[in-house]
Amino acid sequence: MTQLFFITGTDTDAGKTSFAVAWLKHLNSQGFLTQGIKPIASGGLSTPKGVHNDDALAIQSAMSLTLPYSQINPIALTDPIAPHIAAEREGRSLKAADIIEMVESRVDPRADVCLIEGAGGWFTPLNSHETYADVVTQANWPVIVVVGMKLGCLNHALLTMANLTQRGIQTVGWIANIMVEPMTALSENLAYLDSALPVPRLATLHSQHRLSVGKLAESVTSPAL
């Protein structure tokens, strides 16, 4: 059975895609068959086959299974803005139940691991009354939180984790994404999050997609041989 993980971030540009790409490549090297899905992507270029988003293309190129773009990114929106606004401009609606159905119907049964990447942060709106948090809550996917280590990340990480805990969502752990220009007092901020968050730091992502795996390796079971 395919192991699913939902990757959320503490903010836009926290490093969700960079982590997904790095982890997919690591899993590939360990013999896993991998797939990635970015259900909703805002901002992309029009092609003869529709709108294609850079993040979704990066995920598609990093996974080991060869699948069509539409199976990776079913909702590709043109404008690089909040998804619910971009969808409204295109006369489309985003609903939690529909997104869950889209994802589950696109998971390839051959995949040992499938990473599902969110859009923006944990509470990215889908419509006037639902957010991405409602998708994950209803689907009951285990979550990994990517923390972009920059000013403001402590507040964002604590708020995100508090809501995950309140909703009773299985949170596997968190990832520290070290930005290209590391934040001031980086080691002290890492130490604080290590002690304050109720789940372990699974890995540290450095610039150039270099991943120090750490406890992340314990998150998946060995692929069937």
The reply to whether 193 falls in a domain is yes
Q: What is the pTM of this model?
A: 0.96
The pLDDT score that the predictor gives to residue 32 is: 97
The pLDDT score that the predictor gives to residue 225 is: 47
The reply to whether 225 falls in a domain is no
Of 62, 71, 68, which Cα lies nearest the Cα of 33?
A: 62
CATH number at residue 110: 3.40.50.300
Determine the Cα–Cα distance for residues 190 and 172; give it in Å rounded to an integer. Answer: 18
The reply to whether 24 falls in a domain is yes
Determine the Cα–Cα distance for residues 82 and 199; give it in Å rounded to an integer. Answer: 29
Determine the Cα–Cα distance for residues 85 and 88; give it in Å rounded to an integer. Answer: 5
The reply to whether 121 falls in a domain is yes
| Known catalytic membership, residue 150 | no
Helix/strand/coil (H/E/C) assignment for every residue in 165-182: HHCCCCEEEEEEEECCCC
Q: Are 128 and 156 in contact (CB under 8 A)?
A: no
Q: Are 143 and 136 in contact (CB under 8 A)?
A: yes
The reply to whether 174 falls in a domain is yes
Q: From the candidates 16, 38, 49, 215, give the one annotated as an active-site residue.
A: 38
In the DSSP assignment, the letter for residue 10 is: S
Q: Which residues contact 142 (CB under 8 A, 6 or more apart)?
A: 4, 5, 6, 169, 170, 171, 172
The reply to whether 115 falls in a domain is yes
Determine the Cα–Cα distance for residues 179 and 210; give it in Å rounded to an integer. Answer: 12
Block residue for tokens 């982590």: 19
pLDDT tens string, the chain, 225 residues long: the values are 999 999 999 999 999 999 999 999 999 999 999 999 999 999 988 888 889 999 999 999 999 999 999 999 999 999 999 999 999 999 999 999 999 999 999 999 999 999 999 999 999 999 999 999 999 999 999 999 999 999 999 999 999 999 999 999 999 999 999 988 889 999 999 999 999 999 999 999 997 668 998 899 899 987 754
The reply to whether 212 falls in a domain is yes
Total domains present in the chain: 1
Query: H or E segment at 117?
Result: strand 113-121
The pLDDT score that the predictor gives to residue 224 is: 58
The reply to whether 79 falls in a domain is yes
Read off φ and ψ for residue 128, nearest 5 degrees.
-70, -15
Determine the Cα–Cα distance for residues 142 and 195; give it in Å rounded to an integer. Answer: 21
Domain span at residue 170 reads 3-219
